[in-house]
Structure 1
Amino acid sequence: MKHYVLLFCDPGIDDAMAMMLAIMHPQIELVGIVTSYGNVTKEQSIINADYILKVAGITDVPVIPAAFRSFSEFDEEAYPEIHGSAGLGSIIPPNHFPGNRVGFDTIRSILLTYKQNLTIIELGRMTALAKAFNLFENEFRYIKNVIVMGGAFFMPGNRTPIAEANIYGDSVSAKFIFNYLNTIITPLNITSQAMFTPALMQRLASHPKFGKTIQALLSVYTAYYKENQPHLPGPPIHDIVPLLVMVQPSLSTYVYRDVDVITNGKAKGMTMIDLRTMSEEGRHKIAWTVNADRLLHEYERAMFTGYADE
């Protein structure tokens, strides 16, 4: 079964790793990339998406520049200490790969072209997704799924003690999306389990198409996690999880609840659900547990499909 994916992202190391997975996965066809601020600035996210497509030898996937600022967190900054000075680890991509940059209305064309065959995957702040849904509400009604990487339920956040970075970065847009659009959510609870071991990173370094790029991406990322979270076996690559769960939903278990987002005060960015025994099921499908070993096995298999002899 082929999954047609429109990817909203802010590359960023783990977003770039997700892009490469989408390109390599035999069951995924990447039909567009919507780039915004987040891990890097909007301008850098465009350059980085163009660069990954250039390394892949792809010229026909549209890159759609989108949001440059949050609607709720006006002082949000990029994270060079995590992602490198340009967002791609030790790589400084040259800004002379124009790629296939197109206007925001191309999102509407993609929605109309693929309809029920299309899955939107959101890997960053939901500013651009909220704008697209607000403009193209009717077209959104016909697509297959919207999958969001974001939120943290009953666990510490990675942006504040209780908030995950994507939701915190634009809590107003996140609340809008969860209030009006049914989604599948892969929260920090499960994405933080996609940790790359040294053995897996060594294997990825041998990848015929992306090996050198992955090495350069993960050098800064790995160093950051070794210094700041040395107890982990390796860095978590959060953004590969929604793609893998999309293709193989059995990698996770799920709960169905309505999600609320706190948009102000000390709890800003917190995602809330009601898990009391008397609470009813809701509209959002939330990945609750994940088979991490199997997930990483499927990731490695997908990355090396077609390179069995390497």
Structure 2
Amino acid sequence: MYPIIIDTDPGVDDAMAIAFALAHPEIELVGLTTVFGNVPVARATRNALALAERFGVPGLPVAQGAKFPLVQSPLPHPEFVHGADGLGNVNYDPPTAQAVAQSAAEFIIEQANRLNGELTVVAIGPLTNLALALKLDPELPGKLRSLVIMGGTVDEPGNVSPVAEANFLSDPHAADVVLGADWPVVVVGLDVTHKIILTDSNLMQLRDKAGETGKLLWDASRFYVNYYSNTGAASGHDEAGCCMHDAAAVAYVVAPELFTCISGPARVISEGVGAGQLTINRKGYTYLLKHWEERPAAKVCMDLEVEKVRSLFLDTIIQHKVR
């Protein structure tokens, strides 16, 4: 069993990741922590609470986290990608539950201590909460089973600049701090998530076979798929679809053998034209510039078995849906 916290900024693809985690029989979702990103953090918290209720787990703890990046000014929220409400402008009813009193960072630390080395954190938004948790408890990296991050890109072009992925650009200083700590960490970025497309046929399967969960994901995905269709970001297929970003990070937790990784000290460029760029010394070279020295190695996914990962996602939600 894999106890996990999902650190999230829901987000249509975040909703897919949460549904997948709740449905997978080997995952125990112990809570959600929220962060600014796709939407303001208050909306992210509302969405997380609403998704928990809609997915049939109204008592799931949700802890609200960071409102702003560590250093830089906040970027605009991408309403054109996820809708103004973050969930495709479907306008779900407000949740009845409230967030817990703890901050996201405090909740992560508490659960890491309680689970005594068994907790995995899956971070699918900006990494501000992890950086704040690290500041509160510098020993946190040694208390986790693993940290899986959806963010960054190495060889694949970025989705918010030619070199940057959205989560890392939203708080590059936090991303660099987190990758500088000695976690058992793996980065699942655009190098793999741009290869795995959920087509409308796949999403129809969820709508028709995965109960209320599938219907919610179908409805929320309409705005998101339209964005991908208009931009060509999921091109190369005969039908409309979207990239399976955040759920791929959850898939890594239960099926790491389906991914191919490189490893090396990693930095995230914090400022300037390269802000948000993930850089990794994958060859172990000694460079003139020493910024990658005395940094722990991070694993970064570069390839995956596309059909197996996509089937894992679809089959899990269809066969083990919560409701």
TM-score bracket relative to the smaller structure: over 0.9
The match for 2:88 is: 89
Q: Secondary structure at the match of 2:229?
A: helix
Q: Give the RMSD, CA atoms, in angstroms.
A: 2.0
The match for 1:203 is: 205
1:228 equivalent to 2:231? Answer: yes
Q: Which runs of 5+ in 2 are unaligned?
A: 287-292
Q: Secondary structure at the match of 1:153?
A: coil
- 1:222–1:112 CA distance, 2 compared to 1 (3 A): same
The match for 1:159 is: 160
1:8 equivalent to 2:7? Answer: yes
Matches within 5 A, 1:173-252: 173-182=174-183, 183-206=185-208, 207-229=210-232, 231-233=235-237, 234-252=241-259
Give, in whole Å, the separation in 2 of the partners of 1:128 and 1:68.
10
The match for 1:304 is: 318
Give, in whole Å, the separation in 1 of the partners of 2:147 and 2:283.
26
Give, in whole Å, the separation in 1 of the partners of 2:229 and 2:76.
23
- 1:193–1:102 CA distance, 2 compared to 1 (3 A): farther
Matches within 5 A, 1:1-310: 2-104=1-103, 105-182=106-183, 183-206=185-208, 207-229=210-232, 231-233=235-237, 234-276=241-283, 278=285, 283-306=297-320
- Aligned 8 A contact 1:123 1:150 in 2: yes
TM-score of the pair, normalised by structure 2 = 0.90
Q: Secondary structure at the match of 2:154?
A: coil
User: Could you tell me which amino acid in structure 2 is paired with residue 34 of structure 1?
Assistant: T
Q: Secondary structure at the match of 2:94?
A: coil
Deviation at 1:282, TM superposition (A): 5.8
Q: Secondary structure at the match of 1:146?
A: strand
User: Could you tell me which amino acid in structure 1 is paired with residue 235 of structure 2?
Assistant: H
User: Could you tell me which amino acid in structure 1 is paired with residue 6 of structure 2?
Assistant: L
Q: Secondary structure at the match of 1:185?
A: strand
Q: Secondary structure at the match of 1:175?
A: helix
- 1:131–1:109 CA distance, 2 compared to 1 (3 A): same
- Aligned 8 A contact 1:111 1:140 in 2: no
User: Could you tell me which amino acid in structure 2 is paired with residue 297 of structure 1?
Assistant: S
Q: Secondary structure at the match of 2:302?
A: strand
1:131-187 Cα distance to aligned partner (Å, 9 max, x none): 011112224422200111111102211111111111111010111011123311111
Deviation at 1:122, TM superposition (A): 0.5
- Aligned 8 A contact 1:47 1:93 in 2: no
- Aligned 8 A contact 1:59 1:99 in 2: no
TM-score of the pair, normalised by structure 1 = 0.93
Give, in whole Å, the separation in 2 of the partners of 1:73 and 1:176.
14
